[in-house]
Chains A and B, each alone.
Chain A
Amino acid sequence: MSDSSDDRPSTHFLLRPAENLGRAIVGTLEELGRFFVFLGRVLRALPRRPLRWKLLAEQMERIGVRSIPIIALSSAAIGAIFSLQITILLGWFQAETMVGAAVGITLARELAPVITTLMLIAKNGSSMTAELGTMRVTEQIDAMETMSVDPVHYLVVPRMVASVLVFPILTGLANVVGVTGAYVIAVEMMGVDPGGFFEQLYWYVNPIDVVSGLIKASVMGFMMSVICSYFGFYSDRGSKGVGESATRAVVTSSVGILIADYVMADLMLKWLY
């Protein structure tokens, strides 16, 4: 073993923070570059045949069907809590019946897609990274390549397509269950007039509110699947590698979708509603 690291001239200690900052910036740029190369591979693999229906169905089942309970539970809770707070607030203006509209719009535009995505990142994103990371570390991904099968096409594309399709469906579910949760709290517990609740809901919530939320969900599903697959794909060897990748994948994709949500909300407020 040669100590090549010792050959380098050492930095003056006052310059070391600058050196470290420089390293961090270069490291981040390198990582970003590698991510966009990966994204390019995913997009290029997307239209390629064969279509793997079985793998797609499998992923839709895992991400979609098996997430119904957790999405229903969390959106019911959010709808109920939001309804509780907003009914009290609206009560100050004798406008309690507006609660249906307030909950409906916020759920449709923001809360349903965001809550759904965050829950799915926790439930599926981390396991996506862990699964692909394990395959990387145990050379299963290399094995695929030696058999002339593109692992991006075989492993990542079905996960990505499944996420893009399933996220809006689950967001739709979150809308319905969330409004139901809000209804139970506002009408059954806080005595808001049920007729008024629905009248305001129908009056103020437009189809475009719902559709924009579903579009957001699709974009977020795309982001989550690509980011989490990326971290799995480039997991380091060693036992720490996969776990650490999963953590980084969850943090990065959570922050990423919140930023994307803000950008999309801004654009949609300007152009859509």
Chain B
Amino acid sequence: METIVEVQDIHKAFGSLEVLKGASMPFEEGRITAIIGQSGTGKSVLIKTIIGVMDPDRGEVFFRGEEITTAPAERRREIRRNFGYLFQDSALFDSMSVYDNIAFPLVESLGMRDRKKIRAIVEEKLEWIGLPEVGRKMPAELSGGMRKRVGLARTLAARPEVLLFDEPTTGLDPVLAESINDLIVRVNEEFGITCILITHDIQATFRISNAIGFLYEGVIQEHGTPEELSRTSHPILRKFLTNSFADLGVAG
């Protein structure tokens, strides 16, 4: 397996709050890799530096071996076209219909002008997420789970090689969360897209990901396959995992 994205020694502070203090991790092509960690540890900040919405104070981000953070703006924009990002709260454009939201990256990012082609792609994506009827609706009319799926359709429309998911299942009920997890697996299997996700949902993560990294105190403490992580001797990760799977014990 080849490394497609890699972060090295990422530092990021907001004022006196040091969030990332040297996070490093490789992400393999065609795999699902998850980053787990407590709330507020900087998981979102880390993947925002990957896609370049946020600049790290120090450290490097590589895409296929090319360093991104010091590349010229034009080159960065080009590289960014290979990425898709599903925001924690979907970040749909409120002023546009669902249809226009999905067409947005086609028109604005890929420069497509052919209306028929655009329509075909938008309809195909809506079909794919299982919401063929919502094209005319405004984002405000959708439920949280539907917004997530429309957000996914919008990022897929631009045909990214790497898709970043920021807590795709947080705030959804278990059934909906399950359907989103299924969609992530399908994105990975059907399109071969590399998926990088952040999540609180430890159990689902262990089920669907090929690799997992544990972020704590601004550093990726451990990373490896789910099996490797489940045998960890890192005390805090142990505790973190025991707590998460204890919940499962109670529920099951």
Determine if B83 and A149 form an interchain contact, defined as CB atoms under 8 angstroms apart: no
Contact of A139 among B17, B77, B89 (CB under 8 A): B89
Determine if B87 and A147 form an interchain contact, defined as CB atoms under 8 angstroms apart: no
- Interface stretch, picked from B104-112, B196-204, B206-214, is B104-112
Number of B interface residues at 8 Å Cβ cutoff, please give it. Answer: 25
Check A142/B53 contact, CB under 8 A, given A147-B158, A148-B109, A154-B108. Answer: yes
Q: How far is the CB of A178 from chain B (nearest CB, A)?
A: 35
CA distance A73 to B48 in the complex (A): 49
B158: A residues at CB distance < 8 A = 147
CA distance A4 to B17 in the complex (A): 8
Determine if A140 and B94 form an interchain contact, defined as CB atoms under 8 angstroms apart: yes
Please encode chain B, from 29 to 44, with 1 for each CB lying within 8 Å of some chain A CB and 0 for all others.
0000000000000000
Determine if B91 and A149 form an interchain contact, defined as CB atoms under 8 angstroms apart: no
CA distance A134 to B158 in the complex (A): 25
Contact of B104 among A138, A145, A147 (CB under 8 A): A147
B85 contacts partner chain A, Cβ-Cβ < 8 Å: yes
Interface centre among A139, A142, A145 (most CB of B within 10 A): A139
A5 contacts partner chain B, Cβ-Cβ < 8 Å: yes
Contact of A146 among B78, B83, B94 (CB under 8 A): B83
CA distance A138 to B84 in the complex (A): 17
Total A-B Cβ pairs within 8 A = 49
Check A140/B91 contact, CB under 8 A, given A5-B16, A147-B108. Answer: yes
B93 contacts partner chain A, Cβ-Cβ < 8 Å: yes
Determine if B53 and A138 form an interchain contact, defined as CB atoms under 8 angstroms apart: no
Determine if A149 and B109 form an interchain contact, defined as CB atoms under 8 angstroms apart: yes
Q: How far is the CB of B149 from chain A (nearest CB, A)?
A: 15
Nearest-neighbor residue (CB-CB) of B82 within chain A: A148
CA distance A4 to B14 in the complex (A): 12
Please encode chain B, from 46 to 84, with 1 for each CB lying within 8 Å of some chain A CB and 0 for all others.
001001110000000000000000000000011011011
B87: A residues at CB distance < 8 A = 139, 142-143
Determine if A140 and B109 form an interchain contact, defined as CB atoms under 8 angstroms apart: no
A134: B residues at CB distance < 8 A = 94
Determine if A147 and B91 form an interchain contact, defined as CB atoms under 8 angstroms apart: no
CA distance A146 to B81 in the complex (A): 8
B85: A residues at CB distance < 8 A = 143, 146
CA distance A146 to B108 in the complex (A): 12
Please encode chain A, from 95 to 138, with 1 for each CB lying within 8 Å of some chain B CB and 0 for all others.
00000000000000000000000000000000000000011001
Please encode chain B, from 124 to 153, with 1 for each CB lying within 8 Å of some chain A CB and 0 for all others.
000000000000000000000000000000
B77: A residues at CB distance < 8 A = 148
Determine if A146 and B51 form an interchain contact, defined as CB atoms under 8 angstroms apart: yes
Check A138/B91 contact, CB under 8 A, given A4-B16, A5-B16, A146-B85. Answer: yes
Q: How far is the CB of B51 from chain A (nearest CB, A)?
A: 5
Residues of B within 8 A of A (CB): 16-17, 48, 51-53, 77-78, 80-81, 83-85, 87-89, 91-94, 104-105, 108-109, 158
| Given A142-B87, A147-B109, A149-B104; 4 other pairs, CB 8 A cutoff | A143-B85, A143-B93, A146-B83, A146-B84
Can you pick out 16 interface pairs between chain A and chain B where the beta carbons lie within 8 Å of each other?
A5-B16, A138-B89, A139-B91, A140-B91, A140-B92, A140-B94, A145-B80, A146-B51, A146-B80, A147-B104, A147-B105, A147-B109, A148-B77, A148-B78, A148-B81, A149-B108
